[in-house]
Amino acid sequence: MTLYGDFLDESHRRMHKWHQYFPAYETHFKRFQNRHVTLFEIGIGEGGSLQQWRRYLGPFAVIVGLDIYPRCKQVEEDQVHVRIGSQTDLAFLAGVVAEFGPPDIVIDDGSHLQPHVNATFHFLYPLVAKNGVYLVEDLHAAYWPDHGGGLRAPASFIETAKTVVDAMHADYVADGAGRTPEGDRTTSVHFYDSVVVFEVGERRVMQNSTTGNPALFSNEWAPPGHTTDSFHHVVAEALSGLQVPGPAMQAALPAPAQDLATELQALQTEVTLLRRSTSWRLTAPLRAIGRLFRRRASPA
Ligand SMILES: C[S@@+](CC[C@H](N)C(=O)[O-])C[C@H]1O[C@@H](n2cnc3c(N)ncnc32)[C@H](O)[C@@H]1O
């Protein structure tokens, strides 16, 4: 069964979803199928999506719907639990976590008011189980002032998600600026049209290595008939015949030409350094042969 096929089936309670969400759901939820998982969905509507999660995740899933309207209690059924309260009521949320345990999946499809979305995220995200997923949908509302959002508005949840991206990279920033507990437990953040998904892990080990045998690749190798194509050699060859204007001549040049002259000077300094390098000396015979051929080919 695909989730999208299931969504189009009319036999369940009503639900409302934008069609572009289904590939994101499949990408991030598939691994939970037929496992002992707990899913919280904030915002029940008429209960169709709770039924869908139950069918999709299978017989071991615990589905918990949260909504402010007591009428939503009517959609409780086997595996599907409903608790009534606001997503901004942190004591209510804490009680739900105490009752059902840390959620593996959280879907925020509640009020879509940006202060609500942010408050719920900051409280619930640290409580999501490791290897879990936190998905916020209908984030077009993050661009709507009447929902507390707007393009680059500080209160927009899209901006919050961007700060998590920055926080994930805090170890690469001077003094670890921007590091947060949320960033530390995030392994990836995925932006889709109107949906953001956070994959939950734990602080990563900062490690990188170069492996393999360096003898299996030569930077000086060139195909027969070519000189080496290393970037530095190509640049050095191109610049080797150019004259850099001296300071007096540079001062007399128009501004754009002065910039070019400065750039040329910097490149020629680099060439000089390269020419002192071992690889340059080793490839000298090849360049000499190349010059010889060019001289012979050019008309007298
Ligand atoms: C878009 S509907 C949910 C639709 C449902 N998830 C579906 O896919 O069909 C939004 C729901 O959020 C609920 N809601 C609004 N404000 C809320 C709040 N502060 N806390 C919890 N639920 C809220 C509404 O009562 C409504 O049922």
DSSP strands (E only) in the chain: 38-42, 62-67, 80-84, 105-108, 133-136, 186-192, 195-200
In a domain, 209, yes or no: no
114 and 233 co-located in one domain: no
57 and 185 co-located in one domain: yes
Report helix, strand or coil for 42: strand
Report helix, strand or coil for 211: coil
pTM exceeding 0.85: no
**Which is more confidently placed, 24 or 12?**
24
Q: Which of 213, 221, 216, 236 is nearest to 282 (CA)?
A: 221
181 and 270 co-located in one domain: no
In a domain, 206, yes or no: no
Cβ pair 82, 72 in contact under 8 A = yes
Residue 258 has pLDDT above 80, yes or no: no
92 and 171 co-located in one domain: yes
pLDDT tens digits, residue range 67-118? 999 999 999 999 999 999 999 999 999 999 999 999 999 999 999 999 999 9
Mean pLDDT of 135-154: 98
pLDDT of residue 51: 95
* Candidate from 51-55, 77-81, 112-116, 280-284 with smallest mean pLDDT: 280-284
58 and 194 co-located in one domain: yes
Q: Report d(CA 237, CA 90) in Å as an integer.
A: 67
**Which is more confidently placed, 297 or 23?**
23
pLDDT of residue 2: 86
pLDDT of residue 293: 63
Domain residues for 161? 3-200
* Candidate from 128-132, 177-181, 231-235, 242-246 with smallest mean pLDDT: 231-235
137 and 232 co-located in one domain: no
143 and 248 co-located in one domain: no
Residues with CB under 6 A from ligand 1: 15-17, 41-45, 48-49, 66-69, 86-88, 109-111, 116
- For the chain, the first-to-last Cα distance in angstroms comes to 78
In a domain, 257, yes or no: yes
Distance of CA 114 to the CA centre of its chain: 21
pLDDT of residue 240: 65
184 and 244 co-located in one domain: no
pLDDT tens digits, residue range 171-228? 999 988 889 999 999 999 999 999 999 999 988 778 889 999 999 999 888 889 887 6
87 and 24 co-located in one domain: yes
- Do β-strands 133-136 and 195-200 pair in parallel, antiparallel, or remain unpaired? antiparallel
User: Could you say which of 144, 171, 200 is where a domain stops?
Assistant: 200
Residue 29 has pLDDT above 70, yes or no: yes
Predicted confidence band at 257 (pLDDT cuts at 50, 70, 90)? confident
Domain count, the chain: 2
Mutate to test the pocket of ligand 1, among 40, 66, 68 (most ligand atoms within 8 A of CB): 68
CB proximity list for 186: less than 8 A, separation 6 or greater: 164, 167, 168, 198, 199, 200, 201
61 and 193 co-located in one domain: yes
CATH of the domain at 118: 3.40.50.150
pLDDT of residue 300: 47
Q: What is the DSSP string of 65-127?
A: EEES-GGGGGG-BTTEEEEES-TT-HHHHHHHHHHH-S-SEEEE-S---HHHHHHHHHHHGGG
Give the percent of the chain with pLDDT over 70. Answer: 84
**How far is the centre of ligand 1, averaged over its atoms, from the C-alpha of 121 (Å)?**
15
Q: Of the listed 28, 81, 112, 116, which one is catalytic? A: 112
* Candidate from 116-125, 175-184, 278-287 with smallest mean pLDDT: 278-287
**How far is the centre of ligand 1, averaged over its atoms, from the C-alpha of 111 (Å)?**
6
47 and 172 co-located in one domain: yes
Mean pLDDT of 9-31: 91
Active site residue 116: no
* Candidate from 27-31, 67-71, 138-142, 251-255 with smallest mean pLDDT: 251-255
175 and 285 co-located in one domain: no
Rounded to the nearest 5 degrees, what angle is found at the Cα of 134, between the Cα atoms of 190 and 48?
A: 110
